[in-house]
Structure 1
Amino acid sequence: MKMILKFLGGLALFGFGMNLMTENLKCAAGEGIKRVLTAMTKNPLAGVLAGTAASAVLQSSGVVTVMVIGFVSAGFMTLPQAVTVIMGANIGTTVTAQLIAFQINDYIWIVVFVGFLIYFIGEQKNTKLTGLVLLGCGILFVGIDTMKTAMGPLAASTIFVNMMRKVADIPVLGVLTGTLMTMIVQSSNATIAVLQSLALQPAKDGVSSIIGLSGAACVMMGDNIGTTFLSLLASVGQPVNARRAAVCHSFLNISGSILFLILLPWFTRFIIWISPKGPEVDVIARQIANAHTVFNLACTFLWLPFTKVMVKAVKIMVPDERE
């Protein structure tokens, strides 16, 4: 019970820190991001870059996607433009996983203290916002560290180890697990952080990860599918093109997951090749971060030349009201 409460407390800290950081970044840079998004969508690659930059700054592809749906509803952005920005948002959100993989535990409390100090002594609005962003970032990493510590005893649980083996051995089960996790938590960043913390727990040999890269990659794909649920919710009651933009988000991540499930053995080998070498339990967090980045980059650049094809397919799936 104590372990569960500690894990939930860590997850709450992560969520609070992420929300604190995101909301204050929106206050500090929100209008600028809106201008960038509307100005840089005149060609597909610029749209991807705009979405990547916005999501990397706000650390939430969900927030960017909801903004895009709002722009489409208001007529500021066409459907093909929206799709390219959503592609970029998927790439930008992988920055969090890359930061987590650095495991900067020794510096967490320094970031928290500096953030609080800037907020406390700052007089200008932007100075206080900067302090709150740093404070949120620090709390986020405190939450991750708490979750990782809470998960430590799980490595000794036979039931849990067997459950993780099933996830690793049955790829579709891993995808469903990740999808459900993200639909509940409503943050792929949170579920990727949980996944990285879980994967850092060693198996009985002390060298292998309790879930392994193949199992983690499948859960990661599910996380990417689950994150599209927020955009689908945001599109309810909106004009038809806004609903189509949300469906495009789901279409992009689901089709990518199907492709990468088919290519899973080659995908994991490639991730191992580009990641640091060493015992799996020491490098698995970086491998997951790299898998998350490569997955979203590949999905974007495989679909980018066929954006119009995707839009046509989604228009058939979501017809005009008069039809």
Structure 2
Amino acid sequence: MNIRDVITLLGALATFLFGMSTMTSGLEKLASGRLASLLERLTDNILKGVLLGAVVAGMVHSSAATTVMCIGFVNAGILKLRQAVGVIMGANIGTTITAQILRLGGLSDSNFFLMLLKPEMLGPLMAFAGILFFSFFNGGKKKTVGQVLLGLGLLFIGIKSMENALTPLTQLEAFQELFVRFSNPVLGIAVGAAITALIQSSTASVAILQALSASGVVTFATAMPIIMGQNIGTCVTAIISSIGASRNAKRTAAVHLYFNIIGTLVFLVVLYGLNAVFHLPFWNNVMNYGSIADLHSFFNIICTLLLLPFNRQLVRLVEWTIPDSGAADPVVSVLDPRFLSTPSVALERARTVIIQMGNLAKDNYRIAVELLSDYDPKQLELLTQQEEALDHMEGALDQYLVKLSRHSLDAHDSDLVSDLLHALSDFERIGDYAVNLSESATALHEKDLVFSDVAQLELKSVCSAVSDALEQVMEAYRTHDSYAAFQVEPLEEVVDLLTATLRERHVERLKQGVCTVELGTQFLELLINLERISDHCSNAAVRIIHQNAERDSLVRSDIHTYLKQLHQGGSRQFDELFQEAKDKYYIPIENASQLSAKS
């Protein structure tokens, strides 16, 4: 084996790893955060967790990625440690799917259709089909499907190239003698763990073993300890990921490590004990692509079946190993940096914080409006605390989204980051204007000022309209519903109409001496802040419409022109909603004004 073969081997390994990374990234985009949502919702039962972990790891072709995702969810308080145990066990089974796919390399050439399924044929075909999709579609699922096909094709090309590059090495007598030594279980486990830890992928290290098997030097006695070591080595990724995380996140990584170490020890004792007594007939059998894939799956399935009944004891073990410590900031936990490597999950976490911000801003608005009619210092203190939390969340989320934007994002995810940045600014500003409302309420309380019955009725109508707009915005963000978001803009226009009308009326009252300057100033200040809250509701709502719209729609290309068209009669549905809101909030004020004038 010369330097050219070494370089070819490195290039083949790089192609394989890049193909796996490309395929995994594409699968995550196709999932669009649904995998994360599944992990959150379907882990109430240990058996469901195992099944779910197997499905997720099988889809993303990585137990390490699934475990890291679990660590992030545990760190965020979304999953409990016991829920994560089942997912981790299942992930070890799901990750074996790649080796099963690669066993296609052992198919016979006698049948043309079977020959097409071999990696050297299927890889280039899939890569070519993938690059066509990836190059000729500007965005959407077709481009992502192309990315998955391209990644899978490169994975096949990489494994075949590794096999070719390793052929000269496996023919050397010194290498064959060295490989025989790996039948020593301690050495084999150490080598398997070291290689996997180095490339941080048990799937890739199993693929290397499969490529080596083509030479006929791999026997059961050498493959078994290497596979056991590979399962231990893959834990390094999770351990690195847990550094700086919460106590339970560290425990989650420890579960992954203990599960594989205990499984390996059980296999060592039972398997080598049986061979010592009965001299197992398959011990020196030569392995191929398929038998290595089966052995990898068998080991992980048996380990799961053995340890699944002891999941509670496993949790107690890690809790004893890693004792209690201080609690983490819940916002920082939700915005876990581990999610940044999986943009769809990171965006879903960011959206969770956006909804929390919106709910806090909405609650502060409610408190501020109640303070106008029923002043309560304790409620004001709560508002102040929640405003501080809002500012903290805004700063943390802003930094998180900026970091996320530096990762390789497709057009959809990049647009979503921009929309979320705008939304967090809108909710933070709504919180600020709620504080302004509370300051007006405090001024009125301290100076013992009371609005006239007419002014109170007018304010109540505007406050109700703004409250309705806030409720619609939060409904839109909770359900990702474009229609709920669409209903905000007619309300915003009614609020504009109300504030403009009431401002004129109050100025007239000031001229007539019906209202004092001090009361008039506070009334106008309240109208300004209510109108601005309504404006930010409109801004936040239109971002939901922007996210869900087709790429060639007006709202995607020019939001301001889209809104202008709505206000100028460009939508019958908008006009109907505007009239409903006007009848509900504006007409009663008009009627009350006319009755007041007659009396």
TM-score, L = length of structure 1: 0.91
CA distance in 1, matches of 2:22, 2:158: 13
2:231 maps to amino acid:
N
Partner of 2:178: 163
Shift of 1:155: 2.6
Q: How does 1:212-291 map to 2 (within 5 A)?
A: 212-264=219-271, 284-291=288-295
2:248 maps to amino acid:
N
CA distance in 2, matches of 1:158, 1:110: 36
CA distance in 2, matches of 1:214, 1:156: 19
Q: How does 1:105-254 map to 2 (within 5 A)?
A: 105-168=120-183, 170-202=184-216, 210-254=217-261
Shift of 1:280: 5.6
CA distance in 1, matches of 2:152, 2:281: 27
Q: Is the 8 A contact 2:16 2:204 kept in 1?
A: yes
CA distance in 2, matches of 1:201, 1:151: 8
Partner of 2:36: 34
Partner of 2:306: 302
* Range with bigger deviation, 222-231 or 27-36: 27-36
Shift of 1:304: 1.1
* Residue-by-residue CA offset, 1:221-244 (whole Å, 9 max, x unaligned): 111100001101111111101000
Name which one, 1 or 2, has greater alpha-carbon Rg: 2
Aligned length: 307
2:251 maps to amino acid:
R
Partner of 2:390: none
CA distance in 2, matches of 1:264, 1:30: 43
Gaps of 5+ in 2: 106-117, 327-599
CA distance in 2, matches of 1:115, 1:289: 26
Q: Is the 8 A contact 1:214 1:264 kept in 2?
A: no
Select 2:74's aligned residue among 67, 72, 80. 72
Partner of 2:337: none
Shift of 1:24: 1.5
* Range with bigger deviation, 36-45 or 115-124: 115-124
CA distance in 2, matches of 1:226, 1:23: 22
Q: Is the 8 A contact 2:123 2:155 kept in 1?
A: no
CA distance in 1, matches of 2:22, 2:126: 14
Q: Residues 271, 47 of structure 1: CA spacing in aligned structure 2 closer, same or farther, 3 A cutoff?
A: farther
1:106 maps to amino acid:
M
Q: Is the 8 A contact 1:213 1:284 kept in 2?
A: no
CA distance in 2, matches of 1:194, 1:51: 24
Q: Is the 8 A contact 1:72 1:78 kept in 2?
A: yes
Q: Residues 284, 263 of structure 1: CA spacing in aligned structure 2 closer, same or farther, 3 A cutoff?
A: farther
Select 1:318's aligned residue among 303, 322, 333. 322
CA distance in 2, matches of 1:38, 1:271: 46
CA distance in 1, matches of 2:280, 2:289: 15
State the secondary structure of the residue aligned to 1:102.
helix
Shift of 1:39: 1.2
Identity over aligned pairs, percent: 38
* Range with bigger deviation, 118-127 or 311-320: 118-127
Shift of 1:121: 2.5
2:73 maps to amino acid:
F
CA distance in 1, matches of 2:298, 2:207: 17
* Range with bigger deviation, 123-132 or 62-71: 123-132
* Range with bigger deviation, 94-103 or 114-123: 114-123
* Residue-by-residue CA offset, 1:71-122 (whole Å, 9 max, x unaligned): 0011111101001100111110000011111112222211111111122222
Q: Is the 8 A contact 2:130 2:145 kept in 1?
A: yes
* Residue-by-residue CA offset, 1:118-155 (whole Å, 9 max, x unaligned): 22222441110000100000001111000000111123
1:217 maps to amino acid:
M
Q: Is the 8 A contact 2:170 2:212 kept in 1?
A: no
1:19 maps to amino acid:
S
CA distance in 2, matches of 1:137, 1:305: 36
CA distance in 2, matches of 1:90, 1:155: 29
CA distance in 2, matches of 1:215, 1:233: 29
Partner of 1:5: 7
CA distance in 1, matches of 2:32, 2:243: 23
CA distance in 1, matches of 2:97, 2:270: 24
Q: Is the 8 A contact 1:271 1:290 kept in 2?
A: no
* Residue-by-residue CA offset, 1:4-52 (whole Å, 9 max, x unaligned): 1111110000010001011121122141101111111010000001111
Select 2:89's aligned residue among 87, 90, 93. 87
Q: Is the 8 A contact 2:171 2:215 kept in 1?
A: no
2:61 maps to amino acid:
Q
